[in-house]
Structure 1
Amino acid sequence: MTNNQLTDKRARLRKAAQDYQTALSWYQENLDNPNAEQDCDEAAAAFKREIAYREMDIIADLLNEIGELQEHRKAAAEPVRYLNKFSGACVTLEQQPNAADDIAVYMPLYASSQPLTDAGEHFQRGYDEGHSRGLTCGKLYKGDDQMRQHRAECVKVYRAEINGGEID
Protein backbone atom coordinates (compact mmCIF):
# COMPACT_ATOMS: atom_id res chain seq x y z
CA MET A 1 0.00 0.00 0.00
CA THR A 2 1.38 3.44 -0.87
CA ASN A 3 1.53 6.34 1.57
CA ASN A 4 -1.39 8.05 -0.20
CA GLN A 5 -3.48 4.89 0.05
CA LEU A 6 -2.64 4.55 3.76
CA THR A 7 -3.55 8.19 4.35
CA ASP A 8 -6.86 7.71 2.52
CA LYS A 9 -7.57 4.50 4.45
CA ARG A 10 -6.87 6.23 7.77
CA ALA A 11 -9.12 9.16 6.82
CA ARG A 12 -11.96 6.80 5.85
CA LEU A 13 -11.52 4.79 9.03
CA ARG A 14 -11.43 7.93 11.18
CA LYS A 15 -14.58 9.27 9.48
CA ALA A 16 -16.40 5.93 9.89
CA ALA A 17 -15.47 5.85 13.59
CA GLN A 18 -16.64 9.44 14.10
CA ASP A 19 -19.89 8.74 12.24
CA TYR A 20 -20.47 5.70 14.44
CA GLN A 21 -19.78 7.68 17.63
CA THR A 22 -22.19 10.39 16.52
CA ALA A 23 -24.92 7.89 15.59
CA LEU A 24 -24.44 5.95 18.83
CA SER A 25 -24.67 9.12 20.89
CA TRP A 26 -27.84 10.16 19.06
CA TYR A 27 -29.33 6.69 19.53
CA GLN A 28 -28.54 6.69 23.27
CA GLU A 29 -30.32 10.02 23.64
CA ASN A 30 -33.32 8.82 21.56
CA LEU A 31 -33.82 5.16 22.48
CA ASP A 32 -37.46 5.19 21.39
CA ASN A 33 -36.70 6.61 17.93
CA PRO A 34 -36.52 3.86 15.28
CA ASN A 35 -34.58 6.16 12.93
CA ALA A 36 -31.87 6.62 15.56
CA GLU A 37 -31.53 2.85 15.96
CA GLN A 38 -31.40 2.35 12.19
CA ASP A 39 -28.78 5.10 11.77
CA CYS A 40 -26.67 3.58 14.55
CA ASP A 41 -26.87 0.13 12.96
CA GLU A 42 -25.89 1.55 9.55
CA ALA A 43 -22.97 3.47 11.04
CA ALA A 44 -21.79 0.35 12.87
CA ALA A 45 -21.99 -1.68 9.65
CA ALA A 46 -20.07 1.00 7.72
CA PHE A 47 -17.37 1.02 10.41
CA LYS A 48 -17.09 -2.78 10.30
CA ARG A 49 -16.80 -2.69 6.51
CA GLU A 50 -14.03 -0.11 6.83
CA ILE A 51 -12.05 -2.28 9.22
CA ALA A 52 -12.88 -5.30 7.05
CA TYR A 53 -14.31 -7.20 10.03
CA ARG A 54 -10.82 -7.54 11.55
CA GLU A 55 -11.65 -6.18 15.01
CA MET A 56 -9.72 -8.82 16.92
CA ASP A 57 -6.63 -8.53 14.72
CA ILE A 58 -6.65 -4.75 15.04
CA ILE A 59 -7.01 -4.90 18.82
CA ALA A 60 -4.21 -7.48 19.09
CA ASP A 61 -1.96 -5.35 16.86
CA LEU A 62 -2.69 -2.25 18.95
CA LEU A 63 -1.90 -4.08 22.17
CA ASN A 64 1.39 -5.32 20.68
CA GLU A 65 2.27 -1.78 19.56
CA ILE A 66 1.45 -0.42 23.02
CA GLY A 67 3.73 -3.03 24.61
CA GLU A 68 6.55 -2.24 22.18
CA LEU A 69 6.11 1.49 22.79
CA GLN A 70 6.28 0.99 26.55
CA GLU A 71 9.48 -1.06 26.20
CA HIS A 72 10.96 1.59 23.90
CA ARG A 73 10.10 4.40 26.31
CA LYS A 74 11.57 2.49 29.22
CA ALA A 75 14.80 1.88 27.28
CA ALA A 76 14.89 5.51 26.08
CA ALA A 77 14.71 6.71 29.69
CA GLU A 78 18.17 5.30 30.40
CA PRO A 79 21.21 7.29 29.21
CA VAL A 80 23.27 5.47 26.58
CA ARG A 81 26.38 7.65 26.93
CA TYR A 82 27.64 10.58 28.95
CA LEU A 83 29.15 13.69 27.38
CA ASN A 84 32.09 15.26 29.16
CA LYS A 85 31.13 18.93 29.02
CA PHE A 86 34.73 20.06 29.04
CA SER A 87 36.55 17.64 26.74
CA GLY A 88 33.65 16.70 24.46
CA ALA A 89 34.38 12.99 24.96
CA CYS A 90 31.48 10.54 25.04
CA VAL A 91 31.81 7.73 27.57
CA THR A 92 29.76 4.80 28.82
CA LEU A 93 29.38 3.90 32.48
CA GLU A 94 31.77 1.02 31.86
CA GLN A 95 34.41 3.50 30.73
CA GLN A 96 33.67 6.10 33.42
CA PRO A 97 31.71 4.60 36.35
CA ASN A 98 31.08 7.95 38.09
CA ALA A 99 29.72 9.72 34.98
CA ALA A 100 26.07 9.37 36.09
CA ASP A 101 26.83 10.96 39.46
CA ASP A 102 29.14 13.80 38.34
CA ILE A 103 26.58 16.13 36.74
CA ALA A 104 28.98 19.07 36.90
CA VAL A 105 31.21 17.32 34.36
CA TYR A 106 28.98 14.84 32.49
CA MET A 107 25.71 15.33 30.65
CA PRO A 108 23.60 12.20 29.97
CA LEU A 109 22.82 11.38 26.33
CA TYR A 110 19.71 9.36 25.54
CA ALA A 111 18.73 7.14 22.64
CA SER A 112 16.11 8.96 20.62
CA SER A 113 13.54 8.13 18.02
CA GLN A 114 13.95 11.64 16.65
CA PRO A 115 15.61 12.15 13.29
CA LEU A 116 19.36 11.78 13.35
CA THR A 117 19.97 15.44 12.54
CA ASP A 118 18.08 16.43 15.71
CA ALA A 119 20.28 14.10 17.78
CA GLY A 120 23.37 15.66 16.20
CA GLU A 121 22.09 19.15 16.92
CA HIS A 122 21.37 18.14 20.52
CA PHE A 123 24.90 16.79 20.82
CA GLN A 124 26.35 20.02 19.38
CA ARG A 125 24.37 22.15 21.85
CA GLY A 126 25.60 19.99 24.75
CA TYR A 127 29.15 20.13 23.44
CA ASP A 128 29.02 23.91 23.05
CA GLU A 129 27.45 24.30 26.49
CA GLY A 130 30.25 22.26 28.05
CA HIS A 131 32.90 24.40 26.42
CA SER A 132 31.22 27.68 27.30
CA ARG A 133 30.92 26.66 30.97
CA GLY A 134 34.43 25.59 31.72
CA LEU A 135 36.91 26.21 28.94
CA THR A 136 37.69 28.95 26.54
CA CYS A 137 38.75 27.84 23.09
CA GLY A 138 42.12 29.45 23.55
CA LYS A 139 43.02 27.24 26.52
CA LEU A 140 42.18 23.91 24.88
CA TYR A 141 42.68 24.79 21.24
CA LYS A 142 44.83 27.21 19.33
CA GLY A 143 41.70 28.84 17.94
CA ASP A 144 38.02 28.60 17.17
CA ASP A 145 38.63 26.62 13.97
CA GLN A 146 40.28 23.78 15.88
CA MET A 147 37.39 23.72 18.35
CA ARG A 148 34.85 23.56 15.50
CA GLN A 149 36.81 20.80 13.79
CA HIS A 150 36.96 18.78 17.03
CA ARG A 151 33.25 19.33 17.62
CA ALA A 152 32.40 18.22 14.08
CA GLU A 153 34.47 15.07 14.52
CA CYS A 154 32.78 14.30 17.86
CA VAL A 155 29.34 14.79 16.31
CA LYS A 156 30.31 12.46 13.45
CA VAL A 157 31.42 9.76 15.91
CA TYR A 158 28.28 10.22 18.03
CA ARG A 159 26.00 9.94 14.99
CA ALA A 160 27.79 6.78 13.91
CA GLU A 161 27.31 5.30 17.39
CA ILE A 162 23.57 5.97 17.48
CA ASN A 163 23.16 4.95 13.85
CA GLY A 164 24.53 1.45 14.40
CA GLY A 165 28.08 2.20 13.27
CA GLU A 166 27.17 3.84 9.96
CA ILE A 167 28.79 7.18 9.26
CA ASP A 168 26.79 9.84 7.41
Structure 2
Amino acid sequence: MINTIEIVLWAIILFSAIMVVHAREVFNSALYMALLFIATAGLFILLDAEFVAVVQTLIYAGAVTVILLFAIMLTKREEGKDMLRTDINPLKVISIILFALAIIPLAGTSKILLIKKGIYGSPYIIASELFERYVLHFELIAILLLVTLISSVYLARRD
Protein backbone atom coordinates (compact mmCIF):
# COMPACT_ATOMS: atom_id res chain seq x y z
CA MET A 1 0.00 0.00 0.00
CA ILE A 2 2.83 2.39 0.88
CA ASN A 3 4.54 1.68 -2.45
CA THR A 4 1.34 2.56 -4.31
CA ILE A 5 1.03 5.86 -2.45
CA GLU A 6 4.70 6.59 -3.08
CA ILE A 7 4.33 5.91 -6.81
CA VAL A 8 1.26 8.16 -6.98
CA LEU A 9 3.12 10.95 -5.14
CA TRP A 10 6.11 10.63 -7.47
CA ALA A 11 3.78 10.75 -10.48
CA ILE A 12 2.16 13.91 -9.11
CA ILE A 13 5.59 15.45 -8.48
CA LEU A 14 6.80 14.60 -11.99
CA PHE A 15 3.59 15.85 -13.63
CA SER A 16 3.51 19.10 -11.66
CA ALA A 17 7.23 19.77 -12.24
CA ILE A 18 6.73 19.39 -15.98
CA MET A 19 3.64 21.60 -15.87
CA VAL A 20 5.51 24.31 -13.92
CA VAL A 21 7.79 24.68 -16.92
CA HIS A 22 5.23 24.14 -19.68
CA ALA A 23 2.16 26.01 -18.40
CA ARG A 24 1.16 28.87 -20.69
CA GLU A 25 0.02 31.12 -17.84
CA VAL A 26 2.44 32.07 -15.07
CA PHE A 27 -0.40 31.92 -12.52
CA ASN A 28 -1.13 28.29 -13.44
CA SER A 29 2.59 27.55 -13.21
CA ALA A 30 2.60 28.84 -9.62
CA LEU A 31 -0.38 26.64 -8.76
CA TYR A 32 1.38 23.59 -10.19
CA MET A 33 4.39 24.52 -8.06
CA ALA A 34 2.15 24.55 -4.96
CA LEU A 35 0.94 21.06 -5.92
CA LEU A 36 4.56 19.96 -6.25
CA PHE A 37 5.34 21.26 -2.74
CA ILE A 38 2.33 19.49 -1.24
CA ALA A 39 3.23 16.19 -2.92
CA THR A 40 6.77 16.55 -1.61
CA ALA A 41 5.34 17.00 1.88
CA GLY A 42 3.46 13.75 1.31
CA LEU A 43 6.77 11.99 0.66
CA PHE A 44 8.11 13.37 3.93
CA ILE A 45 5.10 11.91 5.72
CA LEU A 46 5.88 8.50 4.21
CA LEU A 47 9.44 8.85 5.54
CA ASP A 48 8.09 9.42 9.08
CA ALA A 49 9.31 13.03 9.10
CA GLU A 50 6.02 14.67 9.98
CA PHE A 51 7.61 17.87 11.29
CA VAL A 52 9.52 18.39 8.05
CA ALA A 53 6.29 17.75 6.13
CA VAL A 54 4.46 20.41 8.15
CA VAL A 55 7.28 22.90 7.63
CA GLN A 56 7.32 22.07 3.90
CA THR A 57 3.58 22.69 3.69
CA LEU A 58 3.54 25.89 5.74
CA ILE A 59 6.63 27.57 4.32
CA TYR A 60 6.79 26.40 0.73
CA ALA A 61 3.24 25.47 -0.21
CA GLY A 62 1.85 28.29 1.90
CA ALA A 63 4.11 31.31 2.20
CA VAL A 64 6.34 31.02 -0.87
CA THR A 65 3.44 30.25 -3.19
CA VAL A 66 1.34 33.12 -1.80
CA ILE A 67 4.24 35.56 -2.20
CA LEU A 68 4.80 34.35 -5.75
CA LEU A 69 1.10 34.69 -6.58
CA PHE A 70 1.05 38.23 -5.18
CA ALA A 71 4.10 39.11 -7.26
CA ILE A 72 2.43 37.72 -10.37
CA MET A 73 -0.81 39.60 -9.74
CA LEU A 74 0.91 42.91 -8.95
CA THR A 75 3.17 43.02 -11.99
CA LYS A 76 2.01 44.46 -15.27
CA ARG A 77 1.65 41.97 -18.05
CA GLU A 78 2.85 43.11 -21.42
CA GLU A 79 1.72 41.46 -24.59
CA GLY A 80 4.55 39.83 -26.40
CA LYS A 81 5.30 36.86 -28.52
CA ASP A 82 4.67 33.44 -27.09
CA MET A 83 7.93 31.97 -25.84
CA LEU A 84 6.60 28.43 -25.45
CA ARG A 85 7.54 26.29 -28.39
CA THR A 86 5.62 23.09 -28.97
CA ASP A 87 7.63 21.70 -31.87
CA ILE A 88 9.43 18.42 -31.34
CA ASN A 89 13.14 18.95 -31.49
CA PRO A 90 15.36 15.91 -32.11
CA LEU A 91 17.71 17.10 -29.36
CA LYS A 92 14.83 17.02 -26.86
CA VAL A 93 14.00 13.44 -27.82
CA ILE A 94 17.65 12.37 -27.61
CA SER A 95 17.99 14.07 -24.20
CA ILE A 96 14.93 12.27 -22.84
CA ILE A 97 16.16 8.91 -24.14
CA LEU A 98 19.64 9.42 -22.65
CA PHE A 99 18.13 10.47 -19.32
CA ALA A 100 15.94 7.36 -19.28
CA LEU A 101 18.92 5.15 -20.12
CA ALA A 102 20.86 6.71 -17.24
CA ILE A 103 18.02 6.31 -14.72
CA ILE A 104 16.80 2.78 -15.56
CA PRO A 105 19.90 0.99 -14.15
CA LEU A 106 19.49 2.94 -10.91
CA ALA A 107 15.91 1.81 -10.35
CA GLY A 108 15.58 -0.40 -7.31
CA THR A 109 19.16 0.08 -6.14
CA SER A 110 18.62 2.73 -3.48
CA LYS A 111 20.33 1.97 -0.21
CA ILE A 112 18.53 4.21 2.22
CA LEU A 113 19.91 4.19 5.74
CA LEU A 114 17.22 3.29 8.21
CA ILE A 115 17.18 5.77 11.06
CA LYS A 116 15.45 5.06 14.34
CA LYS A 117 12.05 6.68 14.50
CA GLY A 118 11.92 9.59 16.88
CA ILE A 119 15.51 10.73 16.34
CA TYR A 120 15.33 12.08 12.81
CA GLY A 121 12.84 14.89 12.24
CA SER A 122 11.72 15.06 15.85
CA PRO A 123 10.48 18.55 16.81
CA TYR A 124 12.20 18.25 20.20
CA ILE A 125 15.59 17.46 18.66
CA ILE A 126 15.25 20.23 16.07
CA ALA A 127 14.17 22.79 18.69
CA SER A 128 16.94 21.88 21.10
CA GLU A 129 19.56 22.19 18.35
CA LEU A 130 18.05 25.47 17.18
CA PHE A 131 17.88 27.12 20.59
CA GLU A 132 21.11 25.71 22.07
CA ARG A 133 23.69 25.45 19.31
CA TYR A 134 22.32 27.97 16.79
CA VAL A 135 20.76 30.56 19.11
CA LEU A 136 22.84 33.45 17.69
CA HIS A 137 21.85 32.55 14.13
CA PHE A 138 18.22 32.30 15.19
CA GLU A 139 18.33 35.76 16.79
CA LEU A 140 20.01 37.30 13.74
CA ILE A 141 17.33 35.87 11.46
CA ALA A 142 14.63 37.20 13.79
CA ILE A 143 16.17 40.70 13.64
CA LEU A 144 16.46 40.48 9.86
CA LEU A 145 12.79 39.49 9.56
CA LEU A 146 11.80 42.35 11.88
CA VAL A 147 13.73 44.86 9.74
CA THR A 148 12.07 43.42 6.62
CA LEU A 149 8.63 43.75 8.18
CA ILE A 150 9.23 47.36 9.26
CA SER A 151 10.64 48.24 5.82
CA SER A 152 7.67 46.73 3.99
CA VAL A 153 5.20 48.62 6.21
CA TYR A 154 7.13 51.84 5.57
CA LEU A 155 7.15 51.28 1.80
CA ALA A 156 3.45 50.39 1.78
CA ARG A 157 2.52 53.54 3.71
CA ARG A 158 4.71 55.77 1.52
CA ASP A 159 2.81 54.76 -1.62
Q: What is the TM-score of this pair, normalised by structure 2?
A: 0.25
Larger Rg computed on CA atoms: 1
Higher strand residue share: 1
Higher relative contact order (CA 8 A, sep 6+): 2
Higher helix residue share: 2
